[in-house]
Amino acid sequence: MSRPENSIDVRTLICDHFAALLNSGARQVRVRVSQPQQQPAEVWFYSHQNNEWHKSADLVRDAALAVAIDDLMERIASKPHGDEWSARRHKASDFVDTDVTFHGDKIAAHSGAGLSSFVHGLLFRDDHDSRQDRRQSLRHGPAGK
């Protein structure tokens, strides 16, 4: 796996992993960042299906990438939860887990090749997202006044 060069690439990596797990039928995913020396060392991905966690074969062993993923997962968990997804973070002595749960039927409606892009849109809304647009309609008087 090549190393992403910036945070946008790390976002894409996360969304691609999430999409693969969601396409397999999961609605909850976990990112586990192992920290044997209190520093992120590697990252595992899990899916929750049939009331148990299943570890993905994918593993990130690059320490710098693990730090970037840990930072991104911390930011995701700190965002306000909504109707479409929620996240929580919990720590142990040698790892940090971030669980992300996707709600509703929208995931199933977007399954397949486009799911990664859909997940990216859910988790990383930008300033131009119309649902976050705070502008209000202005009423102007007659022209020339």
Q: Tell me the average pLDDT of the chain.
A: 84
Query: Which residue ranges make up each domain of the chain?
Result: 7-125
Of 27-31, 45-49, 105-109, the least confident: 105-109
Which pLDDT score is estimated for 124? 87
Which pLDDT score is estimated for 79? 87
One of 3.30.1490, 3.30.450, 1.10.940, 2.30.29 is the CATH number of 7-125, namely 3.30.450
Please name which of 32, 5, 28 lies closest in space to residue 92, comparing C-alpha atoms: 32
Residue 103: exposed, middle, or buried by beta-carbon count in 10 A (0-12, 13-18, 19+)? middle
- Token pair in block for residue 125: 């809304």
Distance of CA 54 to the CA centre of its chain: 18
Helix (H, G, I), strand (E, B) or coil at 93: coil
On the question of pLDDT at 129 being above 60, the answer is no
Please state, in angstroms and rounded to a whole number, the distance separating the CA atoms of residues 82 and 102.
10
Which pLDDT score is estimated for 51? 92
Q: What is the pLDDT of residues 39-67, one digit of tens each?
A: 888 999 999 999 999 999 989 999 999 99
Q: Residue 84 — φ and ψ, nearest 5°?
A: -95, -25
Please name which of 75, 91, 89 lies closest in space to residue 125, comparing C-alpha atoms: 75
Alpha-carbon distances, residue 134 vs 71, 85, 91, 131, 137 (angstroms): 28, 22, 36, 9, 10
Question: pTM value?
Answer: 0.78
Please name which of 109, 144, 131, 141 lies closest in space to residue 23, comparing C-alpha atoms: 109
Find tokens 């999961």 and name the residue. 26
Highest mean pLDDT among 36-40, 42-46, 103-107, 119-123: 42-46
Residue 134 confidence class, pLDDT cut points 50, 70, 90: very low
- Token pair in block for residue 27: 């609605």
Please state, in angstroms and rounded to a whole number, the distance separating the CA atoms of residues 136 and 100.
33
